[in-house]
A = this chain, B = another copy of it.
Amino acid sequence: MKKLRTGIVGLGRLGRIHAANIAYKIPNMTLVAACSLVPEELEYAKAELGVTEVYSDYRQMLAEADIEAVVIITPSGEHCWQIAAALDAGKHVFCEKPLGVDVEQCKIAEAAVERHPDLTFMLGFMRRYDKSYAYAKQKIDAGEIGTPYLVKATGVDPEVLVQNAIRISAGSGGIFLDMAIHDIDLMRWFLGCEATEVYAMGATFKHPEFKQSDDDETAVAAYKFENGAMGIVHVGRTAPYGYHVETEIVGTEGSIRISAVPEKNLAQLYNTNGVCTECVQGFPERFADAYLAEMEEFANCALEGRQPGVSVYDGSRSTLIGYATTEAWKTGKIVKIG
């Protein structure tokens, strides 16, 4: 079996999830190289993942490592130049979302992808590879709900993680850029259409620290789409019950709702609280399989010379919409999306 020789850059929390998947769970990938500015992360790669080539310089890894593909899990601001550098070095590229932190950066990535149509580029919109979301998309494509015309998306992080959210709030670009990118991508994907206008608002009732970073604890945005369809996104950081990602797609002949109860597993407790379902407590738990499935698709695409369903333009367009949403939220005005 042909195996895709892969290097990873970035071995933080999410990087380690991807690295372990590549090293141990995807038959046709081999984790050959790792790059990080943090020495401990490189030690980890050698000791736990069996990586033999480690680098502290990304360009050096591209130049020297015996790899065909690069997986980028670095801070968002580094994504676009790293994408361009890897593609220009002839490597297939998988990059974690978001594509970039502004539209100009995204253009750099777009241009690089366009320069190398023979290389596979994939952006980590992993929800598309979650079995529930993939099932919904398949049902929609099969016409089972007619024409979809409204998406209602919810994404709320668990209260147990709120102190971390407060800590990173100041540099996060605000709640929409930090949290709504997946929902924005899903709206576009399900509706098959681009957003043209957004109205947004936020609220902070529990942790005033968010206000100190000019951020909000919870926020809502409403979108109009080119074909007349509509979208609503509700993001938040303080769900007492867990990690709540829910999406409803309303169509002319039916609706699909994903994860109204963000169940941890299939058990229900019948006790003095009633009948209770415990919830997942974060994205690693909820989307463990999706992280694996997207990387399998990346490997298959690279080995078969295909492009995946998620393109670089999905990344740049979502970033554009994220910025417009942020502007609407900050100004209190309706913002047209260019």
Q: Known A27-B24, A265-B132; judge A272-B240 contact (CB<8 A).
A: yes
Cβ of A203 to closest chain B Cβ, rounded Å: 5
State which residues 142-168 of A face B: CB under 8 Å: 144-147, 149-150, 152
Q: Mark A248-276, 1 if CB is under 8 A from B, else 0.
A: 00101111111111111111111111111
Q: Which of A168-227 contact B (CB under 8 A)?
A: 199, 201, 203-206, 218, 220, 222, 224
Contact A275 B272 (CB under 8 A): no
Complex CA gap A147/B273 in Å reads 18
A215 nearest CB across to chain B (Å): 14
In this complex, what residue of B is CB-closest to A200?
B222
The interface stretch among A6-14, A229-237, A303-311, A314-322 is A229-237
- With an 8 Å Cβ cutoff, the count of chain A residues facing the other chain is 76
Q: Contacts A232-B234, A240-B254 given; indicate if A268 touches B273 (C-beta within 8 A).
A: no
Chain B nearest Cβ from A325, distance in angstroms: 13
Cβ contacts under 8 Å, A244 to chain B: 270
Chain A 318-338 interface residues, beta-carbon cutoff 8 Å to B? 332-334
B270 lies within 8 A of A266 (CB):
no
Q: Which of chain B's residues have a CB closer than 8 A to the CB of A240?
A: 253-254, 270-272
With A24-B27, A218-B149, A257-B267 known as contacts, the answer to whether A50 contacts B241 (CB < 8 A) is no
- Chain A interface residues toward B at CB < 8 A: 1, 20, 23-27, 48, 50, 131-133, 135-136, 139, 144-147, 149-150, 152, 199, 201, 203-206, 218, 220, 222, 224, 228-230, 232, 234, 236, 238-242, 244, 250, 252-279, 332-334
CB pairs A–B below 8 angstroms (5 shown):
A20-B27, A132-B266, A139-B267, A147-B206, A270-B279
